[in-house]
A and B are shown apart, each in its own frame.
Chain A
């Protein structure tokens, strides 16, 4: 009967989360200088998106090539708040219209646009970060999934949305800061976020938020909804005949992924100090899918490592050979998808399995007194296949 219990955290889960926590909370902060640690914080902000993609794509089978849109919504919301704080009448006294963001002044705006007004409030901004992206995702998802648009068509449409939003942001310079984005962010409620100590605090805040999101995602995946997503990915048609309205689950998981992305976007703005359309469009959206694929699209922890590693490689490589990076990333993606469909997490899982088997074999040799049990352990263990297929299932 014990095997039937649906344990929320298995021992291996706890170990995996523990290892990630040790890396992010102890090892990296103790070994890296603040400049590098701040970079790690930036990479981690992409990890939020990758975790969302694990649920949406890895489990639900919904490939979105437009997650940058939601990352951008969260990032811009945060940036708008910080920009308003940086644009007090005193700080902008030299402008022809003091009290509005500098780029508006350059674009001959003479008053703050109405939709900027509420971003004076941190409370509103927080709500906007959490809910605007899911709301937008909801509209897109209802329009698509209720009509049973899915697969490649959905991917292309999300891509188109990313392109449209980028063009919109760049085109509406006076309202959005255009191609430069929203820059020169300084303080959060009077607290200077550019200092080293602030960067440390923001890094740890980002790590804490990431773990909160991992926990939420973990709970979703461990609920029946997680197993339902797998079923939908495999046989969407059949799920309807088990009595489920498939579209509502797709809508849910897409909105959830959008919310995670938006939180990531806000973390980006806080730590990097600007937000721009280059983080919203097609290329970053595809990169985010690659983080997820490399880390393992069935593992939320794997997605975090994927985001860290690909970005670390990108920084290192694009410092040395900027032109080569895109090709390298493309090759990496194709290689991973072909050779390790479950990414790093899949490799890790296989490795753990091997270690386990070897231990079992060793234990069997040490205790020849119980030969009846030993062969059973060695031969009739169906675990490997299960472990590789759906790492966090069963």
Chain B
């Protein structure tokens, strides 16, 4: 294999749930700095692919290399420390904590038991949290309990929690789903800003949104790779038209 500058190399990845192959012999490669969008009909296995990369689901077969580090054998928190961050499909935040506390917990310091006991909320932390809160439009709500936020605000908060981790590979699962038109616009802006100096893997259905941000597109169908390339190419691929865009 030639050693190109892949940030992520997925090869022969498979997972089966009780015999059902949700992901089936999947291979794809993401370049450093690339924004890759994964599309595909519901149940195609998109979310499962992210689950496999971030260690939430263990692969039955195949390999996932992040900057030449094999992820399939690592624990979830180790994968995070390696530099992979993930936003879940449903906003997944700590509802009993405030916005500030949610962001603070994601600050990449004091992740051991001892570290957490001796963690100090110093200027560096406060500045970083405030900076990110401003980016995600929540600067005025720092002391609001997170369960009182709107759906869109929760999505932003989770994006903020990722930003504070400053991952090299950012994975977003349907970041604009369930948002109002206004929120969608703001989110697109936000994503444009935060995806600049990192590699990104996004799952999204909104075609306008895909067109706006994607460098390349990977199409999944029934756990397999159906097509890959520029959005233009993928759109005109007859296989894709048949299963996905045609209806």
List residues of A whose CB falls within 8 A of some B CB: 1, 3-6, 220, 223-225, 227-228, 230-231, 233-235, 237-246, 248-249, 252, 382, 385-386, 389-390, 393-394
Question: In the assembly, what is the distance between CA of A250 and CA of B195, in Å?
Answer: 35
Query: Are B54 and A3 in touch, CB under 8 angstroms?
Result: no
Q: For the complex, would chain A's binding face be called helix, strand, loop or mixed by DSSP majority?
A: helix
Question: Nearest CB to that of B85 among chain A residues?
Answer: A241
| 14 contacting pairs across A/B (C-beta < 8 A) | A4-B100, A4-B142, A225-B113, A227-B97, A227-B104, A231-B105, A235-B92, A237-B56, A237-B92, A238-B94, A240-B80, A241-B85, A243-B80, A386-B98
Of A240, A243, A249, the most chain B CB neighbours within 10 A belong to A243
Chain A residues within 8 Å of B75, by CB: 240, 245
Contact status B97-A231, CB under 8 Å: yes
Q: Give the distance to chain B from A108, nearest Cβ to Cβ, in Å.
A: 48
List chain A residues, Cβ under 8 A from B101: 227, 393-394
Picked from A4, A224, A233, A390, the residue with its CB within 8 Å of the CB of B105 is A224
Q: Is B117 an interface residue (CB 8 A)?
A: yes
Q: Which of B38-46, B118-126, B203-211 contacts A (4 or more CB under 8 A)?
A: B118-126
- Measured in the bound complex, the distance between the Cα atoms of B148 and A386 in whole Å is 10
Chain A residues within 8 Å of B86, by CB: 241
- B residues sitting closer than 8 Å to A (CB atoms) are 54-56, 75-77, 80-81, 85-86, 88, 92-98, 100-101, 104-106, 108, 110-113, 116-119, 121, 126, 142-145, 148, 161, 165
Residue of A whose beta carbon sits closest to that of B126: A4
Q: Do residues B104 and A224 form an inter-chain contact, with CB atoms below 8 A? A: yes
Residue from A227, A238, A240, A252 within 8 A of B113 (CB atoms): A252
With A234-B94, A237-B56, A242-B165: A224-B116 Cβ-Cβ less than 8 Å? yes
How far, in whole Å, are A103 and B127 apart by their CA atoms in the complex? Answer: 66
A235 touching B94 by the CB < 8 A rule? yes
Given A224-B116, A231-B105, A394 and B98 touching (CB < 8 A)? yes
Q: A230-B94, A244-B111, A394-B143 are known contacts. Are A223 and B105 too (CB-CB below 8 A)?
A: no
Are A223 and B117 in contact, CB atoms less than 8 angstroms apart? yes
| Chain B residues positioned under 8 Å from A227 (CB to CB) | 97, 101, 104-105
Q: Which of A5, A224, A242, A385 contacts B119 (CB 8 A)?
A: A224
Per the bound structure, the CA–CA distance linking A245 and B113 in Å amounts to 9
**Contact across chains for A4 and B106 when beta carbons are under 8 A apart:** no
B143 to chain A minimum Cβ distance, whole angstroms, is: 6
B60 → chain A closest CB, angstroms: 19
Interchain CB contact under 8 A, B119 and A386? no
Residues of A within 8 A of B144 (CB): 382
